[in-house]
Amino acid sequence: MSQARLVDSSVPAQLGRLREIGLVEETPLFPSKKMGYQIAERFFNIWYLMRFASRRQRASLACLTRFLEEFHTPAERTRSAHPSDDVSQHNLAFLLRDHRHEHAEAKSILRKLRQPEVGRDTQALHDALFAAYEDDWPQISKSMKEALALIEGRLPSNTRDDWFRASAVLLHLGFGERLVGLLKECGADVTFMPWFAAVQAHTLGDKRHLVNIPLEARPAAEQIFDQIDQRRQQLPPPSK
């Protein structure tokens, strides 16, 4: 912990944040019953080791790389490198833009996606957030409408976190009222009632507004409110 300049008690919280934004993931540690952590983006892990590891470790990694090149065909290497490589890149783009204000680097990462046709709703959300930092409401509106049209009345399980992140950022940057108005215009107050109610409650500044929605929708809306709230608390002060 001394190399990271962290006290032991703060490590779980820091790992939790890194896991939340998709930079690390849990991994079993046999024979221990405890879980360890590893970098989720395996190509970044290889780059880091080649850059900063000891000479012996770099030599070992080079041998492993050569072995895998011979053992697997190019197609197999592409499939096995990381089953959700673009997901990691999306996560990194969220981190760079919304937590570190490195917008140019985030855009560069998104231009290099391997399967840009996958997760198109997330890409539209990225477009909306880049526009938000430019205070460009027409573009925000256009991109949010595009994202809503792509998911057809449901928050997909594989991009749901991205919707919560985008909601948190737009609220954080002061677009809450206009976002609520846009969602009403698109009918999302009906088709996405729990999410809409959570966003509206955040805009009004009180979770207790959720008691005004149908009882059946309330548990989901409360969970979404908490997810958005957690992400809002992690965001740095706006720099726009």
Name the band, by pLDDT with cuts 50, 70 and 90, for residue 81. very low
What is the chain's alpha carbon radius of gyration, rounded to the nearest angstrom?
20
- Same domain for 75 and 152, yes or no, is no
Number of domains composing the chain: 2
CB 147 within 8 A of CB 124: yes
Decide which of 28, 60, 81 is a domain's last residue.
81
- Same domain for 47 and 100, yes or no, is no
- Same domain for 52 and 104, yes or no, is no
Per the domain annotation, does 239 fall within a domain?
no
Residue 151, pLDDT above cutoff 60: yes
Name the band, by pLDDT with cuts 50, 70 and 90, for residue 71. low
- Same domain for 93 and 148, yes or no, is yes
- Same domain for 39 and 100, yes or no, is no
Q: Decide: residue 30, CB within 10 A, 0-12 exposed, 13-18 middle, 19+ buried.
A: exposed
Per the domain annotation, does 1 fall within a domain?
no
- Same domain for 93 and 71, yes or no, is no
CB 84 within 8 A of CB 155: no
DSSP 190: H
- Same domain for 130 and 68, yes or no, is no
- Helix, strand, coil percentages in the chain from 3-state DSSP, rounded to 5: 70, 5, 25
CB 210 within 8 A of CB 222: yes
Per the domain annotation, does 2 fall within a domain?
no
- Same domain for 60 and 111, yes or no, is no
What would the pLDDT profile of 122-142 be if each residue is shown by its tens digit? 999 999 999 999 999 999 999
Per the domain annotation, does 108 fall within a domain?
yes
Decide which of 81, 104, 119 is a domain's last residue.
81
Q: Which of 39-43, 53-57, 196-200 has the lowest mean pLDDT?
A: 39-43
Give me the pLDDT at residue 78, please.
47
Question: Of 14 and 4, which is predicted with more confidence?
Answer: 14
What would the pLDDT profile of 194-217 be if each residue is shown by its tens digit? 999 999 999 999 999 998 888 888
- Same domain for 22 and 106, yes or no, is no
- Mean residue pLDDT of the chain comes to 83
- Same domain for 61 and 160, yes or no, is no
**Range of 139's domain?**
85-234
Determine the straight-line distance between the first and last CA of the chain, rounded to whole angstroms. 35
Helices (H) and strands (E) in the chain, counts: 13, 2
Per the domain annotation, does 3 fall within a domain?
no
- Same domain for 106 and 174, yes or no, is yes
Decide which of 60, 81, 102 is a domain's last residue.
81
Per the domain annotation, does 222 fall within a domain?
yes
- Same domain for 152 and 94, yes or no, is yes
Question: Of 164 and 62, which is predicted with more confidence?
Answer: 164
pLDDT > 90: what percent of the chain? Answer: 44
Q: Alpha-carbon distance 24 to 38, whole Å?
A: 5
